[in-house]
Structure 1
Amino acid sequence: MNLLDVLLNPPLNLTIGEILVISFILGLMHGATPDEHTWPITFSYAVGKYSTKGGMKAGFLFSLGFTAQRALLTTLGFLGLAEIYTRYNLDGPVYVVVGIVMAIAGSYILEGRYIHLPIDKILGSEHHDPIAERSELKDPPIKMTIVHGLIAGFGFGAYASIITFVLAPRMPSVLYAPLPGVMFGLGTMTMQIIFGALFANLMKVKKLTEDDIRYVGSKTAGRVLYYGGMTFSLVGILIVLFPSIDNWAISTGVAIPNLNAVDVGFLLVVSVVGILGVVSMIMSYREIMRMKRNVEGTSREAKI
């Protein structure tokens, strides 16, 4: 039996220490693989903080809430109260709630304004002053990541099944039951801090001042959270109405969870982080460069 088999199918004769080590490694795997409950949130807040330290803090705080929920989940697993996950599909409701919280955070960053479709630009009648809009942007509410983590922790996947239904029941008493969840959360936290730092450093674009980077980061975070939140909620509603959607998957042949299939969760990560995140970053970068050109043009005219 190789290491991956041990991790995904833990043997019966494990000590407490071995259970905790396996839980931590599963958390590392969970944090390192594209997961719809972690990556979109960490990406959004880390990019919005536009610094290594800020990105690491975003990953830490999100995982802090996530770890607390996982500790509760493994306790419920020990007590046999987590069976609700085997009877009901909670992915839809969790997506809806996560999406709403994301959209609220995104709206806050953009000064409480709902983002409108760029119809005014298409018609050639843009009515927003981009320079004024720049001053209205707020920093991402970093403490909200804890709330995101608590909510996202109710999402359930292969890793959660192992720590909840396989490892937690093997603990000697209810006092030990939260530990697999805590170790799993700490493993996830380790990877989210690393990815948070990497995501944040995407904002270190050449020829941009600190204020420019702040604008690009905040605008990108606001757009990703707002539009990503709407995407999450829409997918959640569709799953509630049509549960079979959540069962759709195309196998990749990879044995590692989150990489083993192209499914709804994987597509959410790709669409929110890979597509929406990149597009938002490019749009925000172009906006700041256009503002700088306008300011430079105005300065030259004033000198003349």
Structure 2
Amino acid sequence: MLNLWDPHAGLAVGAALATAFLLGMVHGITPDEHTWPITFSYAIGSYSTRKGLLAGLIFSLAFTLQRALASELAYLALDRWFTMGPTIDYVVYLLVGAAMAVAGFQIMRGRHWHLFGSHRAGPETAPDLQDPRPWMPAVHGFIAGWGFGAFAILIYTVLAPAMPDAALGWLPGALFGLGTMTIQASAGALFGWVSRRLGLDPAAVRRVALITAGRTLGWGGLVFVAGGVFGLLFPGLAGFSLATGLHIHNLDHLGIALVLVMVTVLGIGLGTLISQTRYWARQARTAGTAGAGTAG
């Protein structure tokens, strides 16, 4: 039986690779601050199942590349900086948050930055919003992969050293990334599918999706930057967590990582999606009522 909670050193190559892939799937499912906010933002902004799937794939492939590289570095014993532990996560929060904010600003073109508010302009003004560029999730995927948590520790200290030589040192990280990609690409397709079934006309769907993506990236990025600054200034407070008793990485303790996910995805992301959908649905009903009255 594979032990995904606490795999031990000395695993056979096949068992180590299988463990890496399955751990990647668990990583993709659990609410991880390095994956879900970014996947949600780009996938919902794609406003289609196919484009949402593509956004998830691009992000995950870049993440896979990073994990393969870091796995090889770990095998070659060039990973001393990983011993910085949580400090690396706080630095990654700063970098990812800054990249998210820049991407959000680009989507919004400097507008619509107020949270959850409605807009007087109709959906015909949607050209003032810009679709996310394919390179954006790729950059975020590569940066986010440098986060250092329970999964990274297992890859770098147990699974990578289990490889027989340096030529295979990258495989555990790559398999972990592919496992994450399996889940995140599916999630991206789901978020894209949701954005296409908001019950609105295509122009309004595009506007809702892009405003949701832009605010999630923009305001969520600022939240991540704040989390990184807080962690670097007050590591003791930022490191506080509550044990859940669950033997599932990312769910065994509830701390700053979960707070970032909840605020960014559930608070900003879903909050914007719901408020914007309701607003444009009311606009459509008002227009329909006015049209019916004029016709009568």
Query: 1:70 offset after TM fit, Å?
Result: 0.3
Q: 1:170 to 1:207 in 2, by over 3 A?
A: closer
Distance, in Å, in 2 between the alignment partners of 1:245 and 1:283 is 33
Q: Deviations over 1:23-44 (max 9, x none)?
A: 1111011111110000000011
What letter corresponds to residue 33 of structure 1 in structure 2?
A: T
Is the CA contact (8 Å cut-off) linking 2:104 and 2:214 kept in structure 1?
Answer: yes
Q: Deviations over 1:148-174 (max 9, x none)?
A: 000000111101100111111221222
Task: Quote the residue 1:104 is aligned against.
Answer: 102
What letter corresponds to residue 280 of structure 2 in structure 1?
A: I
Q: Deviations over 1:26-64 (max 9, x none)?
A: 101111111000000001111111221111111100011
Task: Quote the residue 1:10 is aligned against.
Answer: 7
Matched, 1:288 2:280: yes
Q: Which runs of 4+ in 1 moved over 6 A?
A: 300-304
**Aligned-partner SS, 1:163:** helix
Distance, in Å, in 1 between the alignment partners of 2:247 and 2:286 is 53
Task: Quote the residue 1:91 is aligned against.
Answer: 89
1:51 to 41, 48, 51: 48
Runs (5+) with no aligned partner, structure 1: none
Distance, in Å, in 1 between the alignment partners of 2:123 and 2:19 is 52
The residue correspondences of 1:13-32 to structure 2 (distance < 5 A) are: 13-32=10-29
Task: Quote the residue 2:111 is aligned against.
Answer: 113
Task: Quote the residue 1:240 is aligned against.
Answer: 232
The residue correspondences of 1:33-52 to structure 2 (distance < 5 A) are: 33-52=30-49
Q: Deviations over 1:225-283 (max 9, x none)?
A: 11101100111111111111331100111010111111100111111112211111012
Distance, in Å, in 1 between the alignment partners of 2:160 and 2:133 is 34
**Aligned-partner SS, 2:166:** coil
Q: 1:278 to 1:87 in 2, by over 3 A?
A: closer
Distance, in Å, in 2 between the alignment partners of 1:71 and 1:9 is 21
**Aligned-partner SS, 1:175:** helix
TM-score computed with the length of structure 2 as normaliser: 0.91
Distance, in Å, in 1 between the alignment partners of 2:48 and 2:119 is 32
Query: 1:295 offset after TM fit, Å?
Result: 4.8
Q: 1:279 to 1:154 in 2, by over 3 A?
A: same
What letter corresponds to residue 253 of structure 1 in structure 2?
A: G
Runs (5+) with no aligned partner, structure 2: none
What letter corresponds to residue 20 of structure 2 in structure 1?
A: S
